[in-house]
Amino acid sequence: MTLSPARETQPSGTPEADWLHCPGCRGMLYRPRFRRELGVCPSCGHHARMGARDRIAFLLDAGSATEFGDLSGVPDDPLGFTDLRSYRDRLAEARARSGLTDAAACATGTLRGHPVVVAAMDFEFLGGSLGAALGALVEQAARAAVERGHPLLVVSASGGARMQEGAIALMQMARTSRALADLDAAGILTISLVTDPTYGGVAASFVPLADIVLAEPGARLGFAGPRVIAQTLGQELPEGFQTAEFLLEHGLVDAVVPRAAQRATLAALLSAARPSSPTRVEPVELVRDPGALPDRSAWDSVRAVRTAGRITTTSMIERVVDDFVELRGDRSGGDCPAIVTGLGRWDGVPVAIVGQQRGETVAERVHRNFGMPRPEGYRKAGRVMRLAEKLRIPVVTLVDTPGAHPGVDAERRGQAHAIADNLRLMARLAVPVVSVVLGEGGSGGALGVAVADRVYALEDSVFSVISPEGCAAILWRDAARAPEAAEALQIGAAALLRNGLVEGVIPGPSTDGALVGDAVRRTVTTALAELVGLPAEELRRTRALRYSAFGNHRDRGGNS
């Protein structure tokens, strides 16, 4: 395995050559152990660089890799460039040292049995710089993925565009971005694995365009390097600037994945990207008659949805969804933990999950803003739903929020626009959407993830245009009259059923996670069995009819 962890402490051939210095913590590393740890320092977790072919050998199943790549039509030195040395000499030296023709190796193979195409870059080849040859290899990898119908995995490591090829190198940014667009058009999953470093033209073209962007711990990614920013603008850079952890916090990568966990994470994503038919389960006997529901006031339901110990989005995922991989970030500079999104398998069916999460402990509730999403959360949800549409897999949404965050910063960052965009998106999604109201459906903040083909509710859940307290304060001018407002608003499950807002009510106490969790699982699975396979236009047409009907007929009935 070719690793670039540090410099050796002694010349090769001496006993001391078995020891290295870790560039992260400066501790001593025993070379054999370092190799067993896949080039990761056991003390500080620093991830050493890995050669392209070694990366492919590590990621793909043993014996499955078949390397490909034809650079016969790519000129070595299109500009006849010479600086202190000729470009031709630099290329010859890089090829002799690495055994590669250029800064990447491409291969087809399997990863835990899942077919995949891999393009792995090698920083040791002229800094992994992007020139015509690398552009051709990325394009060929994308074409192979389209022809085979297999996902594309790109492992990046680059200092930027190759200066010795001038504007020709610059044009590779457009060339490779167009190749990724072909994969979008073909509905094929693309994944980027960012390794250290990834800068310049590579960071501003095909790498961030992947559907899912993972990063190794500590990996740096950016358009302009930190020295350039600091020296050009004289700005003081924040702690950890451009590292994987910084990028995760700012919504620019989906996850930071240590090397030892990469194969498992990638396999889960590849599994979730392969559409399959729903399994048949014993359907839940849903309540469809409002009179059959337990007698409870609307205010009792409001109090119930705000108590601890209820089933939540994350507890549902843990109980029901296999191989779930959380996807984070809106790709525009932020993330919102009040909305959890990701891919996984619901009763064996690959799905995209979008769920609102209040939190189960005080600390988690604070972290998740008490389940009140910010614009970044809605944009993240929209991104994952668009990915589901591309991959032709259903969307399952889990609703539980007092409402969208009403803060000044949320308004400044486009809260209303983010919700509106999701409403339009969900109305036209070409894949099935099933939504379950687990707790509180607070106004447009809830509806922003709840436009669906089938909507179900737990028996003590609520859905309302405004909170009872808000309604009472505005219309009664007395927030203490919230119980009265709750009854008038008809926000309880019985009223939702009577008014046609939900297809059925899932019975059982929401505090019984095992009972209700299983009922939600079977309800969603049954709905998916009915919806998966329907033509996109049929889904859109019936969805449009569902929402056009609201307001055209009113059954006053009771008011629970």
CATH label of the domain that carries residue 136: 3.90.226.10
Residue 121 burial (CB < 10 Å; 0-12/13-18/19+)? buried
Task: Say if 279 falls within a structural domain.
Answer: no
Number of neighbours of residue 395 by Cβ within 10 angstroms:
25
Q: Is residue 13's pLDDT more than 70?
A: no
Q: Is residue 556's pLDDT more than 50?
A: no
Q: Is residue 416's pLDDT more than 60?
A: yes
What was the pLDDT predicted at 6?
43
* Residue 319 shares a structural domain with residue 242: no
What was the pLDDT predicted at 16?
53
Which amino acid is it at 553? H
Last residue of a domain, one of 205, 239, 272: 272
Task: Say if 3 falls within a structural domain.
Answer: yes
Retrieve residue 144's tokens: 């192979």
Last residue of a domain, one of 272, 305, 330: 272
What was the pLDDT predicted at 436?
98
200-229: pLDDT as tens digits: 999 999 999 999 999 999 999 999 988 888
User: Minimum mean pLDDT among 10-14, 93-97, 145-149, 418-422: which range?
Assistant: 10-14
Task: Say if 554 falls within a structural domain.
Answer: no
Last residue of a domain, one of 209, 243, 272: 272
Q: Is residue 10's pLDDT more than 70?
A: no
Which residues, 6+ apart, have CB-to-CB distance to 558 below 8 Å? 290, 494, 495, 498
What was the pLDDT predicted at 40?
93
Rg for the chain, CA atoms, rounded: 27
Across all residues in the chain, what is the average pLDDT?
93
* Residue 298 shares a structural domain with residue 399: yes
What was the pLDDT predicted at 7?
38
Task: Say if 560 falls within a structural domain.
Answer: no
- For residue 211, give the 3-state DSSP assignment: coil
Give the domain range for residue 102.
50-272
Banded model confidence at residue 271, pLDDT cuts 50, 70, 90? very high
* Residue 40 shares a structural domain with residue 57: no
* Residue 137 shares a structural domain with residue 154: yes
Beta bridge partners of 161: 130
What was the pLDDT predicted at 89?
96
Distances in Å between the Cα of 80 and the Cα atoms of 17, 162, 166, 200, 329 are 41, 14, 11, 23, 43
290-341: pLDDT as tens digits: 999 998 999 999 999 998 889 999 999 999 999 999 999 999 999 999 999 9
What was the pLDDT predicted at 5?
52
* Residue 391 shares a structural domain with residue 538: yes
The C-alpha atoms of residue 363 and residue 88 are separated, in whole angstroms, by 59
Q: Where are the beta strands (DSSP E) in 307-461?
A: 321-326, 339-346, 349-356, 395-401, 433-442, 454-458
Banded model confidence at residue 185, pLDDT cuts 50, 70, 90? very high
Task: Say if 284 falls within a structural domain.
Answer: no
Q: Is residue 231's pLDDT more than 90?
A: no
Q: Would you list the DSSP string of 48-65?
A: PEE-HHHHHHHHSPTT--
What was the pLDDT predicted at 494?
94
What was the pLDDT predicted at 509?
86
Beta bridge partners of 397: 354, 435
The C-alpha atoms of residue 119 and residue 548 are separated, in whole angstroms, by 48
* Residue 266 shares a structural domain with residue 310: no
Which residues, 6+ apart, have CB-to-CB distance to 456 below 8 Å? 286, 434, 435, 436, 437, 502, 503, 504, 505, 506, 520, 523, 524, 527
According to the 3-state scheme, what is the secondary structure of 91-128? HHHHHHHHCCCCCEEEEEEEECCEEEEEEEECCCCHHH
49-83: pLDDT as tens digits: 999 999 999 999 999 999 999 999 999 999 999 99
% the chain with pLDDT above 90: 84
pLDDT (average), residues 384-409: 97
* Residue 82 shares a structural domain with residue 203: yes
* Residue 230 shares a structural domain with residue 309: no
Phi, psi of 93 (to 5 degrees): -65, -45
* Residue 294 shares a structural domain with residue 402: yes
Considering its fold, how many domains does the chain have in total? Answer: 3
Q: Is residue 497's pLDDT more than 50?
A: yes
The C-alpha atoms of residue 17 and residue 20 are separated, in whole angstroms, by 7
Banded model confidence at residue 4, pLDDT cuts 50, 70, 90? low
- Alpha helix stretches (DSSP H) within 250-332: 259-272, 298-305, 313-320
What was the pLDDT predicted at 121?
98
Task: Say if 353 falls within a structural domain.
Answer: yes
* Residue 385 shares a structural domain with residue 474: yes
Task: Say if 133 falls within a structural domain.
Answer: yes
Q: How many CA atoms lie within 13 A of 183 on its CB side?
A: 30
Task: Say if 95 falls within a structural domain.
Answer: yes
Banded model confidence at residue 137, pLDDT cuts 50, 70, 90? very high
512-529: pLDDT as tens digits: 889 999 999 999 999 999
* Residue 203 shares a structural domain with residue 218: yes
* Residue 216 shares a structural domain with residue 327: no
